[in-house]
Structure 1
Amino acid sequence: MRYFHTNIDKIMLFLAKNKSLLYLCDVSDNKICVSIDIHFLEKYYMNTHHYYGDRPEKYVYVTSDQNFEESSFSERIEEIEKDKFDPRFLLIGYNDGGIISVSGSKLEFQEIEAPWWGW
């Protein structure tokens, strides 16, 4: 499931409440994922307003597990979307500003569906 977000307030509340682990991952290299603090997401979101149509080079992988397998960006999208019980989700900067979230089921912060978004 794909959703569009014009701000991240509800996302931030959800992440804080669930004590989620966040990893900033490279879109083109599945081996590069670094742990980030929840507050880095604010900077990531603000940067989306400067993409000017370009695709982001990084995305945020949200999980509760410190140990995870390497997967390409497109594989992660597919894995997460196919399992409605999977608690993991992705946050990807939208190329015209904003955030796209990808999950297996609708999460409480997701409101505006974005079935049109594709990588």
Structure 2
Amino acid sequence: LLPRLEKQGEKYDVVILDPPAFTKSRSSIKKAVKGYREINLRGMKLVKDGGYLATCSCSHFMDYELFTKTIGQAAQNVHKRLRQVEFRTQAPDHPILWGAGDSYYLKFYIFQVCEEK
């Protein structure tokens, strides 16, 4: 869908990316990083200048730092500047248990996306 919309030159005020978990094991994290980078890069290309991108990862193997770094790399690749508007994790009925890394699975960002000047 994203490549087709990009090819058509479509631009949107808001783009929401809610993919399934790109990895369910530590051994496939490199492929997952590539997938998250690609989907975010394509999503950013579809956002109007000053519009918003909502993006998330539901894989506990894609930790907060790696997900954040991957989104930043995607923004650099497409010459976009991101302004973080919101960051969330899963709802209180899915508590994050300290010391149990697999309980911290959802990372959700909202960014304003602007052209680099």
More helix by share: 2
| TM tier, smaller | under 0.3
Question: Which protein has the larger Cα radius of gyration, Structure 1 or Structure 2?
Answer: 2
TM-score by length of 1: 0.26
TM-score normalised according to structure 2 size: 0.27
